[in-house]
Amino acid sequence: MHTAKSAALVVMLATFACALASPDHMLVLCVGGSLAAAIWMLWPSTDAPVLLLPFGLQWLSVAMKPIETALTGQPLDSLGDFGQPLTDAAWLALAGVSALGFGMWLASRQPNVNWAATLDRDASRWSEGLVVQISIALIAIGTALQIATPHAGPATQIVLSFAWARNAGLFVLAYWCLKQGKSLWILAMVTGFEVVIGLTGFFATFRETFLVLLIAAAAARPRLGFRGFLITGGVFAAMLTVTVFWSAIKTDYRDFLNAGSHQQEVVRSLSDRLSYVGQAADQFDDDQFRTGLRKLGARISYIDFLASTMKYVPEVLPHENGRRLGEAFANIFEPRILFPDKPPTPDDTTVTAHYTGLHLEGTVGTSISIGYLGELYIDFGRVGAVIGAFVIGLFAGLAYRVIRGFKGIPLFFSYGIATMVLVNFAIFETDLVRFLGSAITICLAGIVLQRAVAPQVLLALANRDVGMRAA
């Protein structure tokens, strides 16, 4: 049986059990049902789950506290971090994320094409040497661009968008290695490098690494046999362990990175950062693991700020009638490289404090956003927020369809570029300006890479490989 069908069945069985144990029966039932439906729609047997896993991370941000009601027996309204009821926010968040997933499915579906079979066939035609060479080059170039981003000036967003090419390289390498069962040691080394680099920055960029690996693993092993179970389980276990570790150390680590300036900046050398992370890993114990796990659970759940926003708007502040969305589009279509006098993007924490009425003075040096759905609510209310999420889903599904359908390069590499683009849709808490800005600019960077760069490079490499074999 295809893994998606088994997973959907398991989710529904777990949902019924949780719904019986929770005081909020109907909410928990709908939360689990939405995930089961998304698994069924976004992971057909003829395609890879490139859309499903980004959706799944957004769903998890909404589902954490409803699931907690089943584990603790406490009603959802008693679990608010700021003393506010959460039920209305949970229903709106669930409706928004479900609309996002439905939009993804609607725009991406092509029921009469077996993309999975073509992907497998394309990948098998490329030699081990070429795959490793191309993948490592993409990862190296993307990492170099990421490191250069702070020095890019007004071209920062453009450089950062192309830096996401490292995720395309990682997908290509991971899919080929897992499908062919070869060069797994190279994949392990590259993954370790990406995780370590992610841990040395101010933000946890290693999350994208694990998400790409999960997408590649699910695409390469759509039928979860024993070996596929071990691979997927191993990736998930590694992701959980590293994420818990990061959650436990990040507050003190960030103070170390910015040398006490309380700014989102890194003033320590790479060697100093590696030394700090290594020492923290060496001292990591069971108590820190439990602390990190608790912090991680609180961090993943992201409906509390939405609940505070819904209480404050429109009771204290009126709806903005599109102003937040207008500012987001203005930020996209007025790039700083052409408009050097453009004012800086408003601080997330300041915006959140303004629209929630919460006092966030104690959060200096951190970035706290309402989330894109909350900002859509500020603009358009409940119905408008759900419609906005649906439109974003349509955009994600259409981007996937356009990139996947391009015939100028092998489908194998197009899937890498699609993954590069769609990983950006995984974060529920991202503010509207950055969410839309990143989605559009990374999509454009992916299309440029796919249609202007990749055809010539891949053709030259393939011809060279054929020539070397003939010689």
Q: Which residues contact 163 (CB under 8 A, 6 or more apart)?
A: 142, 143, 145, 146, 149
Among 146, 252, 132, 117, smallest CA distance to 183 is for 132
Among 461, 467, 423, smallest CA distance to 194 is for 423
User: At CA 240, angle to CA 63 and CA 294, rounded to 5?
Assistant: 60
Q: What type of residue sits at position 226?
A: F
pLDDT confidence bin for 363, thresholds 50/70/90 = low
**Under 8 Å between Cβ of 306 and 93:** yes
* Average pLDDT estimate for 387-396: 98
Q: Which helix (H) or strand (E) holds 8?
A: helix 3-21
| DSSP 8-state symbol, 429 | T
Q: Which residues contact 25 (CB under 8 A, 6 or more apart)?
A: 19
Angle between helices 128-148 and 454-470 (to 10 degrees): 140
Determine phi and psi for 431, rounding to 5 degrees.
-70, 160
How confident is the model at residue 148, as a pLDDT? 85
Segment among 24-33, 46-55, 174-183, 232-241 with least mean pLDDT:
232-241
More confident residue, 42 or 343: 42
Determine phi and psi for 145, rounding to 5 degrees.
-65, -40
The Cα–Cα gap between 249 and 280 comes to 7
pLDDT confidence bin for 215, thresholds 50/70/90 = very high
SS3 assignment, position 411? helix
Evaluate if residue 309 carries a pLDDT over 60: yes
The Cα–Cα gap between 215 and 61 comes to 19
The Cα–Cα gap between 223 and 51 comes to 18
What is the pTM for the complete model shown? 0.91
pLDDT confidence bin for 1, thresholds 50/70/90 = low
* Average pLDDT estimate for 252-257: 84
User: At CA 252, angle to CA 67 and CA 241, rounded to 5?
Assistant: 45
Segment among 223-227, 301-305, 351-355 with least mean pLDDT:
223-227
**Under 8 Å between Cβ of 395 and 439:** yes
Segment among 151-155, 188-192, 201-205, 212-216 with least mean pLDDT:
201-205
The Cα–Cα gap between 62 and 303 comes to 6
Evaluate if residue 170 carries a pLDDT over 70: yes
The Cα–Cα gap between 385 and 274 comes to 42
The Cα–Cα gap between 15 and 123 comes to 37
Tokens 């950006």 correspond to 424
Neighbours of 438 (CB within 10 A): 20
| Cis status, amide bond into 318, omega within 30 of 0 | no
Evaluate if residue 465 carries a pLDDT over 70: no
Segment among 137-141, 332-336, 447-451, 456-460 with least mean pLDDT:
332-336
pLDDT confidence bin for 224, thresholds 50/70/90 = low
Among 348, 301, 303, smallest CA distance to 324 is for 348
Q: Which residues contact 354 (CB under 8 A, 6 or more apart)?
A: 317
The Cα–Cα gap between 206 and 312 comes to 35
pLDDT confidence bin for 36, thresholds 50/70/90 = very high
More confident residue, 332 or 99: 99
Evaluate if residue 459 carries a pLDDT over 80: no
**Under 8 Å between Cβ of 292 and 245:** yes
